[in-house]
């Protein structure tokens, strides 16, 4: 479990419980159904002595906030507050968990106060963000000051969508880049024989270090789509047997591509070879 602070939601467990319960409500389950499904899905947390208090604290606070606090959840949370649930996480800290104790006191005050009226939970509207088909190739025109650092300003880099995946409930697509900068929009014919650009550093030419060959930018809303800098080239078969990449890009728009110029610059004149299928390529020693 990751912990980064003394706030109620400054750890992975409470965030998970909150999101799981709210996800069931957004799916339009009744409160009892959402509660039962949360108990089922979070059974490992409930059975773990360290994480069980965090489960009940998060569930009680979330239910209170949306006006659905179940008496047994409230009672369980208050019981664990009295026992100092979660303090064992702070045994080795200099503060002795003083911040967490304050968090528990605030939680107690909230749970013992009158909860808000039951809030209507709307089912989220799913937006079709899938603008590209698998195999589609686009040319991206570099246009910011960042690109000037790498000699790429107003040049073009070819990007191909090679797969799409779900991360949680979010649709993302996987892309790779071709290792050549063009002075004008390239054609599919221009891309023949062009190697893929490693999206990683050479690692001092060590042959035992893997290189990431693809990344996963989020599919984006059309209003955020920079169509003035993306030009459709065509569609061609992506490489077969690509493994899932280990790098995920969380940027909400496409302008982070500008920083990829650093990889283009560093790999010029360096050879590497494929020794295994998938995203892992190795530098030739």
* 121 occurs within a structural domain: no
Instruction: Find, among 85, 73, 74, 82, the residue nearest to 113 by Cα.
Output: 74
**Band of pLDDT at residue 283, cut at 50, 70 and 90:** low
Residues 237-281: pLDDT tens digits? 876 544 444 333 333 445 456 667 777 887 887 776 654 433 344
* 62 occurs within a structural domain: yes
* 127 occurs within a structural domain: no
Same domain? For 43 and 163 the reply is no
Same domain? For 187 and 230 the reply is yes
Q: What is the mean pLDDT of residues 149-178?
A: 75
67, containing H or E segment? none
Same domain? For 248 and 163 the reply is yes
Same domain? For 150 and 39 the reply is no
Same domain? For 254 and 159 the reply is yes
* 117 occurs within a structural domain: no
Find out whether 169 and 257 touch, Cβ atoms under 8 Å: no
* 95 occurs within a structural domain: yes
73 lies in which domain range? 12-112
Same domain? For 95 and 157 the reply is no
* 184 occurs within a structural domain: yes
**In which region does residue 241 sit, left (phi positive, over 0), alpha (psi from -120 to 50) or beta (all else)?**
left
Task: Determine whether 41 is exposed, middle or buried from the number of CB atoms within 10 Å of its CB (0-12, 13-18, 19+).
Answer: middle
Residues 15-68: pLDDT tens digits? 999 999 999 999 899 999 999 999 999 999 999 988 999 999 999 999 999 999
Same domain? For 83 and 26 the reply is yes
* 129 occurs within a structural domain: no
Residues 176-200: pLDDT tens digits? 788 899 999 999 999 988 887 776 6
Find out whether 237 and 137 touch, Cβ atoms under 8 Å: no
Find out whether 216 and 168 touch, Cβ atoms under 8 Å: no
Residues 108-140: pLDDT tens digits? 999 999 999 999 998 865 544 556 788 889 898
Q: Out of 71-75, 230-234, 274-278, pick the least confident.
A: 274-278
Same domain? For 69 and 156 the reply is no
* 24 occurs within a structural domain: yes
The domain total for the chain is 2
């Amino acid at each position: 479990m990751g912990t980064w602070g003394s706030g109620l939601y400054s750890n992975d467990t409470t965030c998970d419980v909150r999101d799981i319960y709210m996800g069931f409500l957004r799916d339009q389950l009744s409160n009892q159904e959402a509660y039962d499904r949360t108990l089922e899905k979070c059974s490992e947390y409930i059975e773990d002595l360290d994480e069980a208090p965090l489960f009940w604290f998060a569930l009680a606070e979330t239910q209170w906030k949306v006006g659905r606090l179940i008496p047994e959840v409230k009672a369980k949370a208050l019981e664990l507050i009295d026992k100092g649930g979660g303090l064992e996480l702070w045994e080795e800290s200099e503060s002795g968990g003083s911040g967490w104790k304050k968090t528990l006191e605030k939680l107690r005050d909230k749970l013992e106060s009158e909860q808000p009226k039951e809030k209507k939970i709307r089912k989220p509207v799913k937006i079709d963000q899938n603008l590209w088909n698998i195999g589609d190739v686009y040319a991206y025109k570099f246009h910011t000051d960042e690109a000037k650092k790498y000699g790429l300003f107003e040049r073009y880099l070819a990007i191909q969508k090679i797969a799409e995946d779900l991360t949680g409930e979010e649709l993302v697509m996987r892309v790779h880049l071709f290792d050549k900068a063009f002075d004008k929009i390239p054609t599919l014919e221009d891309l023949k024989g062009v190697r893929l650009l490693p999206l990683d550093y050479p690692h001092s030419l060590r042959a035992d270090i893997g290189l990431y060959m693809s990344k996963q930018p989020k599919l984006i809303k059309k209003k955020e789509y920079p169509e003035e800098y993306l030009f459709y080239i065509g569609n061609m078969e992506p490489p077969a047997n690509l493994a899932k990449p280990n790098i995920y890009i969380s940027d909400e728009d496409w302008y982070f591509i500008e920083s990829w110029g650093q990889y283009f610059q560093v790999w010029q004149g360096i050879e590497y070879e494929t020794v295994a299928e998938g995203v892992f390529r190795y530098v030739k020693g």
